[in-house]
Structure 1
Amino acid sequence: MTTQALSQITPDALWIDVSSSFQSLEHPFLCCLAREHAVGHWSYSQTPDEPGSLEIAATMLHGYIKGLDRTIDLIGHGTGGLLALLYARRFPHRVRSLSLMSVGASPAVDWQAYYYAQLESLPCDRDRVLMQVAGTLFDAHTRTGAMQMARVLEQSLIRSLSPHSLLQRVWMKPEGVPVPLMVCGGCDDIVVDTELLRGWLPLLKEGDRIWQCPGGRHFFHADYPQTVADQVLSFWEAPEVTSAGLKYARKTASEPL
């Protein structure tokens, strides 16, 4: 695990990254946020031989956050968002707000689950399936572009944290979170589609938000970085979030994970 700050001061917001393969895609969006907010970048990486464990990742994330002198705005995409969600449920007093990108009400659904389902159902080899999935997830206009993104996905399959594998897909039941919540998705995302996003509606509290990016696919924050950043920054400045920073003031005593 490595921790990297985009700001020289203690971060007010923390981007949760569990796939280093996507860092170049996420960078423009994080830079848009960092112009207005002190944003930190926390990343978790593992070797191909290590088992994927959300519990281990959550323990390491807690080790970082408990050392901060303030509550924090957590934000993450896909499985990074799932990890942020699990952490916010467990330690709400350390989290000022939670912003989820491409995380449905059944939060374990991610692009890897979609990929493995396609691999089982399509009469194609692995490389062809990766190409088709890349064309679905990204706005790749050329075959060369799709091939480049397929290689990115292949590296992510090897090194990123995910609860899924070819042998097993994990399902998690819909459940709310006690901190202020913003859920963002892409209107044209077929992995976390509108139905999965709407599954959050019965779980929302007053002040929580759901927003869909027009024209956005699964990685909509990479295609529309400023548009998405504006929505997130607006949420962070909302009265419900600023007051939550006081309500969930960090406890001085340490809590075991």
Structure 2
Amino acid sequence: MSNQFDVLWLNASQSLKGFDLPLLQYLSKHLLIARWEYYQTKDEASSIDTAVTMLYDFLKSHDRPVNLAGHGMSGAIALMFARRYPQRVRSLALLAVGSQPANTWHAHYYQQRTLLPLSREQVLLNNVGMLFGNQPPHTTQKLMAALDRDLDESPTLHSLLRLVNFPKGGVVMPMFVCGSKTDPVVSPPELYDWRHLLKSEDTLWECAKGYHFFHYFYPQQVGDQLLSFWQRFTQDSEPKTNIKTSQANTPSSDGTVRMGK
């Protein structure tokens, strides 16, 4: 991957990364965007620190600070990296990341497993509706499988034994924070809790709907907000459209998830 790009998008959820593609495809028409992926096998211990260290190894040879972005757990990793290596980050964009960064969909899953007498499959079914809204039965099954994989492969530190918290706080570089009015994970009150941490150059924006993956359902609306934010930090951009689209999930106008094969 060339080290010449305007924005570096992080992904730490292999089974859910297709939900980033509509937004990335839209953004790639306007600027140079690269995607960095972290893959954790089932035999590895979950570790945010490992992901942050590997991201540093990737960026340490980069000749300028980067605009860093990510959704959910990937955004939490971006936040941890920006706090630890502020000299490497020009700006930070967080999608569906609460003021308590550890409050991911995984935390909600384990809370339900702890409080409710439900099986893993039943809680995953509940989470499909919570994260994506009502979906056809065949799509629901595929989404349950994707969430099931993400529980095993995402570097979350949550488990049935305990839920963890990350340090709360902002960052020194300009920051863009966005969420959805219909997201039960990063709910509006938690999103608004960022307000007392924001600087004058920071932006807080809320999508009218779209659940937890609002950037999938409304890529242009989210993309325009991001572009407006990055316009202050990105210059001399040229379009780039080489993001892979095979096996992608594509949104539809009726709110139905279209799963790739």
2:155 is the counterpart of 1:161: yes
Query: Is the contact between residue 21 and residue 155 of structure 1 (CA under 8 Å) also seen in structure 2?
Result: yes
Q: Percent identity?
A: 41
- Return the alpha-carbon distance in structure 1 between the equivalents of residues 231 and 186 of structure 2: 26
Deviation at 1:122, TM superposition (A): 2.0
Q: Pick closer, same or farther for the CA change 1:106–1:9 going to 2, 3 Å.
A: closer
Equivalence for 1:213: 207
- Comparing 166-175 with 210-219, greater Cα deviation is found at 166-175
* C-alpha RMSD of matched pairs (Å): 1.5
Q: Does 1:22 align with 2:16?
A: yes
Secondary structure of 1:14 counterpart: strand
Matched with 2:168 is 174
For the residues of structure 2 that align with 1:186 and 1:148, how far apart are their CA atoms? 23
Answering whether residue 89 of structure 2 is matched by residue 103 of structure 1, we say no
Residue equivalent to 2:194: 200
Residues 1:78 and 2:61 are matched in the alignment = no
> What CA deviation, in whole Å up to 9, does each residue of 1:195-236 have, x standing for no partner?
111111111001201111111211111111111111101100
- Residues 9 and 38 of structure 1 are in contact (CA less than 8 Å); yes or no, is this contact kept in structure 2? no
1:93 to 87, 100, 125: 87
Residue 188 of structure 1 aligns with an amino acid whose one-letter code is T
Find the counterpart in structure 2 of residue 249 from structure 1: none
Q: Tell me whether 1:150 sits opposite 2:131 in the alignment.
A: no
Distance 1:169 1:146 in 2: 26
Aligned to 1:186: 180
TM-score (norm 1): 0.88
User: Structure 1 residues 9 and 242, CA, compared in 2 at 3 Å: closer, same or farther?
Assistant: closer
Q: Partner letter of residue 167 of structure 1?
A: L
User: How big is each residue's C-alpha offset from its partner over 1:39-84, in whole Å with a ceiling of 9 and x where there is no partner?
Assistant: 1100011110100111111110001111112211000011111111
Q: CA deviation at 1:139?
A: 2.8
Secondary structure of the equivalent of 2:58? helix
Give 3-state SS (helix, strand or coil) of 2:42's partner: coil
Aligned pairs, number: 235
Name 1:233's counterpart in structure 2.
Answer: 227
TM-score of the superposed pair, with normalisation by structure 2 = 0.86
Q: Which runs of 5+ in 2 are unaligned?
A: 236-261
Task: State the distance in 1 between where 2:134 and 2:144 align.
Answer: 10
- Structure 1 residue identity aligned to 2:148: E
- SS of the residue corresponding to residue 212 of structure 2 reads coil
Whether the 8 Å contact between 1:137 and 1:219 is mirrored in structure 2 is: yes
Are 1:14 and 1:42, in contact at CA under 8 Å, matched by a contact in 2?
yes
Which one-letter code corresponds to 1:224 in the other structure? Answer: Y
Shift of 1:242: 5.8
The question of 1:45 aligning with 2:39 is answered yes
Mapped to 2, the partners of 1:58 and 1:70 lie a distance apart of 18
Unaligned runs of 5+ in 1: 244-257
Q: Is the 8 A contact 2:42 2:152 kept in 1?
A: yes
